Chains A and B, each alone.
Chain A
Amino acid sequence: MVRFILKRLLQVIPVFIGTTLLVYYMVFALPGDPIAALFGDRQPPQAVIDTLRSQYHLDQPFWVQYGLFLQNLFTFNLGNDFTGQPIAGSLARVFPVTAMLAVEALAIQAIFGVAFGVFAGLRRGGWFDSTVLVVSLVVIAVPTFVLGFVFQLVFGVQLGWAKPTVGANADWGSLLLPAVVLGLVSFAYVLRLTRASVSENMNADYVRTATAKGLSRPRVVIAHILRNSLIPVVTYLGANLGGLMGGAIVTEGIFNVPGVGNKLYQAVLRSEGPTIVSIVSVLVLVFVVANLLVDLLYAWLDPRIRYDQ
């Protein structure tokens, strides 16, 4: 297991370097004056241009620039945004909010998705299964931002069950509505995946053998069907973290959640190139590390992965 972790860690490094290099290259090394490009049509104040030039070491060769950028990234020296605030500081403020939102959304999709999926899979073709299948198709088809407005309008404005916008003081309760919106599409995917996986595993030879051993039905379902069915679900949840990040940008924008996504959205609206690059790089780091964690969970669930071939 230790060797597996080491091996995966070693694999993460080139991916992280490659991806940040890609992002950095696109913004700073493509032809044209990067500073001018960053601001588009607008003319930035000279002070900002000077700060940026020194901050991104634009007078240095590309590799030195990139090396210093990486160094800055790891020392959380991310520079200032256009209002002069340090990006690192404001990121530190908004990051916990997004983390809460993501955890809540993940929990919703994992718990409800797996539970509904198991019930549907065990009784394939029953009324619950058929209902859940149709509903999940519709949920998948409605894009997150449409869902966001509909929920905001119905539950927030018309029914008044939740605050339509979150505002400055985000807590678990006020984040529930955006978390539901954020988690709903993946919930439907998790449900369908669990269902398919459960109904496939039900016919596995080892499940029949487990029954032949004299185990009770609940034991067979929990120890042999459920655990094995979770393996593809975990893989999906890991691969889908990126989708969750994209969804967070939209959801935080709609519900005015003071999170990383919202910060990024504001930066996009204001075309603040450097801020975008910094935040995206941090998010890539989070994504890569989160995927590593998912891999470890995966290895814990499926011992064959740990085994070094």
Chain B
Amino acid sequence: MTSNNSHFVAPIDETPLLATDTVKTDQAPLSLWSDAWRKLRRRPLFIISALLILALAVVALFPGLFSAVAPNDGCVLANSEGGSTDGHPFGFTFQGCDIYSRVVHGTQASLSVGILSVLCVLVIGVTVGALAGYYGGWVDAVLARLGDVFFALPLILGALVITQLPFFRENKSVWSVVFVIALLAWPQMARITRGAVIEVRNADFVTAARSLGVSKFGALVRHVLPNALAPIIVLATLELGVFIVAEATLSFLGIGLPQSIMSWGNDIAGAQASIRTRPEIMLYPAAALSITVLSFIMLGDAVRDALDPKSRQR
């Protein structure tokens, strides 16, 4: 065997010849989504964040279940900066309102602004990005420049200008905040979508579909977009957290939600006055805000890992 010119043949019973290219039939069929879901399900990061988000959703939908006290009920100045008492576990704000109740009722505003903004950004960003990336040419050039213009206006700066408009000053609401965020944040979604669509649009399966007789737009909807979804979903999940922070920041600056809507950003701004004496007044809404954002960031992280094309088996 070691001699230089010998002709070695392995024992055939030790190296049996198998049939060329047999189909594996021992496992259940696995689509990319069910594969991603299977990976996701096993990640502790996902389980923790999903449970947290579920809990937050319940609190947001039914705040009354968790707090018998309405947020603005019984705000008595005598209770100003009061400590924890029976039925008021977190104590009282500077205005003498129940902190626990305000934190519970603030959930709704944060979550609804976050979710609605993401939905709007998805609609605008994905439409613009997909059209620009798929059709290319002048459509792309026009939409890209439009995106650049909005992109050059950073979120907080743009919001400062827009909220100076009389209409926004007079109609502060969840929707006005959603509008401002969506208007300024869609370009990033458009960019990501455009990139993902460009990556897919020249794939052979798209050409194959076109030569089957599928129309150009049909191929975009049926083949290109579904395959470009992964980065879009990841960004949307991460942006949920980012937009919740944005709403809180705008409210903190006094240009977000009106005082009449319970919002953690407003409460943190209000707690500034007591920061030296009773820092925990700020701590409670701040902690609620951070935990909410953390849940969505963790979810985004877990989803990204699960959808990562590099971790897929080919």
Contacts and interface: CB of A to CB of B under 8 A. Distances in A.
Q: Do A and B bind each other?
A: yes
Interface string A283-294: 110011001000
B153 interface: yes
Contact of A143 (B245, B255, B275): B245
A16, A37, A145: which has the most chain B beta carbons within 10 Å? A145
Interface string A2-25: 000000000100111011001100
B75 interface: no
Contacts of A153: 275-276, 279
Interface string A135-160: 00110111111100110110001000
Given A143-B289, A149-B282, A22 B153 contact: yes
- Main secondary structure, interface of A, reads helix
B156 interface: yes
Interface stretch (B13-21, B144-152, B213-221): B144-152
B166 interface: yes
Contacts of A146: 268, 282, 286, 289-290
Contacts of B152: 15-16, 18-19, 284, 287-288, 291
Interface residues of B, number: 45
A301 interface: no
A122 B3 CA distance: 44
Interface stretch (A58-66, A83-91, A97-105, A264-272): A264-272
Contact of B161 (A247, A253, A269, A276): A276
Nearest to A158: B279
Nearest to A284: B152
A26 interface: yes
B272 A149 contact: yes
A253 B297 CA distance: 27
- Main secondary structure, interface of B, reads helix
A38 interface: yes
Contacts of A140: 241, 293-294, 297
Contacts of B254: 268-269
B156, B188, B268, B279: which has the most chain A beta carbons within 10 Å? B156
A249 interface: yes
Interface of A: 11, 14-16, 18-19, 22-23, 26-27, 30, 32, 37-38, 40, 137-138, 140-146, 149-150, 152-153, 157, 200, 239, 241-243, 245-247, 249-250, 253, 264-265, 268-269, 271, 273, 276-277, 280, 283-284, 287-288, 291
9 contacts: A15-B148, A15-B152, A18-B148, A22-B150, A37-B166, A138-B290, A245-B157, A246-B155, A250-B253
Given A242-B155, A268-B160, 10 more contacts: A15-B148, A15-B149, A18-B148, A140-B241, A142-B293, A149-B268, A149-B272, A249-B160, A265-B253, A284-B157
